Structures are given as structure tokens and as C-alpha cells.
């Protein structure tokens, strides 16, 4: 009997030791930081040249297909709702929670080791673009060269060389930079551009084009003074370059693409739009950005006649629409648009506009109207008679309307009519000031909470 007791005791000790070892291994695994690795190239890379372009002119794409488009918006809305619920429950556990009320920022900003945990950002998305992983599953690429001398044969170390690669990449910057692009920066799929910890401006030239690709995250950049460019050859991948017609001069142009997240950027003063999403683009989140000094801010939908944009789903959340703005915050066609917890402090004509029967779900925003007595209305139905737009589903729920601002609703008021335009739970409009206080590119510094 004594032997049996000793044997049981010995087995118990072994079991306890195994559990302890497993726990320690798990903790160590979680604490090992990812290593920033520059994208190394053994000597000067010779990029393959081809006259066959991976891009096609606008007149040829109208009937084209987007392999990454979502065919069933209702299914996407259901999946997003379930994922958001699961993610919210995880965040209630308090891991790195700042308690700001901004679920994106509370997910990562309180971590003083954010620099070694950069890729955690990819797990913090919300809304219709929440599944955009960017370059999460790839290595780091450190941009060391602000130049853009040759859009067909970019030098290794430049931003253009980084974004055209076929493999997933998380792109960071070695130092502060002002990058003046000669031609559009054509993104390839599965890329993150992460400006945190540096002061990076893309300005005074061409800007960013996300065309026929998927899984792109743009974070922490200053993008301004973008100019029309084009009528030139531009590379889009290591094996393809092609002729580009004139670009409008958008800060960020999303064309036939999906799973795109534009977060914590400062955008202003471009030749055309600040963010345009057209030609069947969908699964997009535009969040935590600071928009200033611009006329036509955001366009969502190519044209009234382009019906493939009926599948479009876009979340616009936690942004600050600031001084010097005039209209289109956003301007929508077709599709489903969730405008939630944004701070509208300035507009000259209107804030939210649309045509071609878009569904617009405005929840928990703060709208402060301008002093002009003829510009108090938040909404504008563009070139459409009331007999037509009265059936469009536009609603305001829990919005704070200040200085005489008013929102003109239409269509159904029932929640079921907005299922495809619902992507996350809205916070109270009284929290908008704190939720959007960090909008725009952040001044993150190493070793500190961002």
C-alpha cells in the first residue's frame, strides 16, 4: 500500500511539472518579439520587363470581373457581425485595453512594445474591411530610400520596390521621409504600409492606387498635394509593367479591389478625391483618418449606370472631417454604407450625399453645421427628384445634430432594412470627441504607448 501511495505521488509530481513546462513555453512564445528584417537582395535586382500590362484602360474594365469581389453582401454582413461579436468579447478581457472607447485603438495602442508587435494591428480591424490582413503573414520590408527615379525599374529599398512585390510584406520606414512619386504607386496584394514611429509624407506628386488587388492596409501616412500624373509606363509587379493613362490625382484610389483598410492617415489638398472606391470595390473600412482642406473628399461608386457597385460595402468610422472641407463625406452610389461615430466639424455644402439608390446607415455621429443658414442639411440627394429618392433607405440613428444641422431620412426606418449596411455596434454620440481625438497619423515613438 505504501508503494502504491508513493507511485501515485510520483505520478502527480510528474504531471504538475509537465503542466508548468507547457505554461512557461506558451508565455515565452507570446513574449518573443518579431524581428524587423529588411528586404535583402543579393546585389541589384534586375526586374523583368514586359510590354504586357497587368492593368487595363478604364474603357476596357467596365465589363471586367473582380475575382475578389463579394457576391453576397447579406452573407458578408452576417459574417462581419459574428466576427465583430467574437472580437469584442476577446477585447473585453482587457488585454492592452486603454478604455478610450475606440475598439481599434484599444486593441493595440496601449502596448509600449507596439514596435515589436506591429503586426498585431492586422487583428484590430473593424467593419466591412476587418478581414484585410495586409502583409501580416509576410516578412518586414524596411524602406531606406525616399527616391522614385524610375517607375519601371524601382531601386530596392524604395517604397515602390516594396509595394510591387508578389509576396506578402509589412512595409515600414527607417527614418522620416517625404516621398514625391513620379507616377502612381501601384500596390500589389497582401501589403501593409505602416508609417508608425516615423513621419512619412507622400506629397507633391502622384499618390496611391489600389487596383485589382486584395488585402491592403494603409496606416500612419500623411498624404497630401497629390497631382494628376500618367501617360507613362509604370511597373505593377516584378514581371509586369504597362502604360498608364492620366490619373485624377486622388490621395488613395481603390479600383476593382477588396479587403482594404485605410486607418490613421492625415489626408488633404489633392487634385481630385482623398479616398475614391469604384468599379466593384468592396469590403472596405475607412477609419481614424483626419481629412482637411479639400473639396470632394470621399467618392464611393463609379457612376449611376455602373450597377456592379451594388455589391459595395464600406464602413466609415471614427474619422474627423475637419477644417476646409466642402462636400462628399462621403458621396455614395448603389451599395451599402455604414457611417458610424465620426466627427463632422466642418462642411461648406453638405456632409453625406448620394445617387442611384445607396443604402446609408448613419449612427452615433456628431454633425456640427456651418454658420451658413443655407448649408445646415447633412444630406444631399444628387440630381434626383424627391419622388425617386423618397424610397431610398437613408436613416439617422443616435446622431448628435448641432448648430441647426438636420438629416433628411428616407425609405424604411426598420433595422432589418439596414442589415447589409451594418458592420459594427455604434457607440453613443457623446463619446465621439474622445473616440476621434487621435484621428490622423499618430506621433508614435519607440518604447512608449502610441
pLDDT in tens, 323-371: 999 999 999 999 999 999 999 999 999 999 999 999 999 999 999 999 9
Assess whether pLDDT exceeds 90 at residue 16: no
Q: For residue 78, what pLDDT is reported?
A: 57
Assess whether pLDDT exceeds 80 at residue 92: no
Q: Answer left, alpha or beta for residue 447, where phi above 0 means left and psi between -120 and 50 means alpha.
A: left
Check: CB of residue 192 under 8 Å from CB of residue 217: yes
Among all residues, which ones are annotated catalytic?
328
Q: Tell me: the pLDDT tens digits for 311-324? A: 999 999 999 999 99
Assess whether pLDDT exceeds 90 at residue 81: no
Copy the grid coordinates of residue 400.
448628435
Say how far apart CA 115 and CA 367 lie, in whole Å. Answer: 35
Residue 111 backbone dihedrals phi, psi, to 5 degrees = -80, 115
Which residues are bridge partners to 216 per DSSP?
Answer: 191, 260
Assess whether pLDDT exceeds 90 at residue 408: yes
Say how far apart CA 246 and CA 229 lie, in whole Å. Answer: 6
SS3 346: coil
Q: What is the mean pLDDT of the chain?
A: 85
**pTM for the full predicted model:** 0.82
Q: For residue 35, what pLDDT is reported?
A: 37
Assess whether pLDDT exceeds 90 at residue 24: no
User: CB under 8 Å to 49, separation ≥6 — which residues?
Assistant: 152, 153, 241
Assess whether pLDDT exceeds 50 at residue 287: yes
Q: How confident is the model at residue 409 (pLDDT cuts 50, 70, 90)?
A: very high
Check: CB of residue 412 under 8 Å from CB of residue 429: no
Q: How confident is the model at residue 79 (pLDDT cuts 50, 70, 90)?
A: low
Which residues are bridge partners to 396 per DSSP?
Answer: 362
Assess whether pLDDT exceeds 60 at residue 28: no
Assess whether pLDDT exceeds 80 at residue 406: yes
Q: Tell me: the pLDDT tens digits for 178-234? A: 999 999 999 999 999 999 999 999 999 999 999 999 999 999 999 999 999 999 999
More confident residue, 210 or 44: 210
Q: Where do we find the cell 457612376?
A: 303
Q: For residue 447, what pLDDT is reported?
A: 82
Assess whether pLDDT exceeds 90 at residue 395: yes
Q: For residue 29, what pLDDT is reported?
A: 40
Say how far apart CA 310 and CA 333 lie, in whole Å. Answer: 8
Assess whether pLDDT exceeds 70 at residue 156: yes
Check: CB of residue 251 under 8 Å from CB of residue 225: no
More confident residue, 110 or 36: 110
Assess whether pLDDT exceeds 60 at residue 157: yes
According to DSSP, residue 289 is labeled -
Q: For residue 77, what pLDDT is reported?
A: 55
Q: Tell me: the pLDDT tens digits for 240-265? A: 999 999 999 999 999 999 999 999 99
Say how far apart CA 370 and CA 392 lie, in whole Å. Answer: 26
Mean pLDDT of all residues in 98-115: 90
Say how far apart CA 140 and CA 160 lie, in whole Å. Answer: 15
Q: For residue 256, what pLDDT is reported?
A: 98
- Going by C-alpha positions, the residue among 144, 88, 96 that lies closest to residue 117 is 96
> Which ranges of 356-441 does DSSP label H, i.e. alpha helix?
386-389, 432-435
According to DSSP, residue 417 is labeled G
Q: For residue 449, what pLDDT is reported?
A: 85
According to DSSP, residue 181 is labeled B
Say how far apart CA 273 and CA 155 lie, in whole Å. Answer: 29
More confident residue, 13 or 184: 184
According to DSSP, residue 384 is labeled -
Q: For residue 61, what pLDDT is reported?
A: 38
Question: Edge-to-edge, what's the strand order for the sheet holding 400-402?
Answer: 177-179, 200-203, 222-224, 266-268, 290-292, 320-321, 343-344, 366-368, 400-402
Q: Tell me: the pLDDT tens digits for 424-434? A: 999 999 999 99
Assess whether pLDDT exceeds 60 at residue 412: yes
Q: How confident is the model at residue 80 (pLDDT cuts 50, 70, 90)?
A: low
Check: CB of residue 220 under 8 Å from CB of residue 195: yes
Say how far apart CA 259 and CA 91 lie, in whole Å. Answer: 22
Amino acid at each position: 500500500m505504501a508503494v502504491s501511495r508513493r507511485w501515485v505521488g510520483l505520478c502527480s509530481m510528474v504531471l504538475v511539472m509537465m503542466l508548468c513546462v507547457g505554461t512557461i513555453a506558451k508565455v515565452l512564445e507570446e513574449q518573443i518579439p518579431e524581428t524587423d528584417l529588411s528586404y535583402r537582395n543579393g546585389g541589384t535586382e534586375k526586374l523583368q520587363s514586359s510590354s504586357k500590362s497587368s492593368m487595363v484602360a478604364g474603357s476596357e474594365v467596365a465589363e471586367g470581373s473582380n475575382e475578389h469581389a463579394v457576391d453576397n453582401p447579406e452573407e458578408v454582413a452576417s459574417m462581419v457581425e459574428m466576427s465583430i461579436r467574437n472580437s469584442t468579447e476577446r477585447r473585453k478581457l482587457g488585454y492592452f485595453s486603454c478604455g478610450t472607447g475606440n475598439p481599434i485603438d484599444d486593441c493595440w495602442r496601449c502596448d509600449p512594445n507596439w514596435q515589436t508587435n506591429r503586426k498585431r494591428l492586422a487583428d484590430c480591424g473593424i467593419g466591412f474591411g476587418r478581414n484585410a490582413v495586409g502583409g501580416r503573414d509576410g516578412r518586414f520590408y524596411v524602406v531606406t530610400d525616399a527616391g522614385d527615379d524610375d517607375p519601371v525599374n524601382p531601386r530596392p529599398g524604395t517604397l515602390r520596390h516594396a509595394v510591387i512585390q508578389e509576396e506578402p510584406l509589412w512595409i515600414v520606414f527607417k527614418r522620416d521621409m517625404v516621398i514625391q512619386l513620379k507616377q502612381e504607386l501601384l500596390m500589389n496584394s497582401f501589403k501593409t504600409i505602416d508609417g508608425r514611429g516615423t513621419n512619412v509624407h507622400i506629397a507633391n506628386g502622384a499618390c496611391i492606387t489600389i487596383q485589382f488587388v486584395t488585402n491592403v492596409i494603409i496606416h500612419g501616412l500623411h498624404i497630401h498635394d497629390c497631382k494628376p500624373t500618367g501617360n507613362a509606363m509604370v511597373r505593377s509587379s516584378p514581371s509586369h509593367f504597362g502604360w498608364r493613362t492620366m490619373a485624377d490625382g486622388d490621395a488613395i484610389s481603390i479600383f476593382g479591389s477588396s479587403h482594404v483598410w485605410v486607418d490613421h492617415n492625415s489626408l488633404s489638398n489633392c487634385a481630385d478625391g482623398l479616398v475614391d472606391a469604384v468599379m466593384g470595390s468592396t469590403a472596405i473600412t475607412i477609419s481614424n483618418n483626419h481629412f482637411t482642406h479639400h473639396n470632394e473628399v470621399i467618392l464611393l461608386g463609379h457612376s449611376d449606370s455602373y450597377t456592379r457597385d451594388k455589391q459595395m460595402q464600406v464602413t466609415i468610422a471614427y474619422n474627423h472631417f475637419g477644417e476646409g472641407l466642402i462636400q462628399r463625406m462621403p458621396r455614395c452610389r448603389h451599395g451599402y454604407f455604414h457611417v458610424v461615430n465620426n466627427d463632422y466639424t466642418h462642411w461648406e455644402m453638405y456632409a453625406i450625399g448620394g445617387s442611384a439608390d445607396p443604402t446609408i446607415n448613419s449612427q452615433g455621429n456628431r454633425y456640427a453645421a456651418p454658420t451658413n443658414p443655407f448649408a445646415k442639411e447633412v444630406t444631399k440627394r444628387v440630381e434626383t427628384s424627391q419622388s425617386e429618392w423618397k424610397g431610398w433607405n437613408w436613416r439617422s440613428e443616435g446622431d448628435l445634430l448641432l448648430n441647426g444641422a438636420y438629416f433628411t431620412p428616407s425609405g424604411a426606418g426598420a433595422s432589418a432594412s439596414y442589415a447589409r449596411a451594418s458592420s459594427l455596434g455604434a457607440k453613443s454620440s457623446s463619446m465621439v470627441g474622445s473616440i476621434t481625438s487621435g484621428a490622423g497619423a499618430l506621433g508614435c515613438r519607440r518604447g512608449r504607448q502610441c
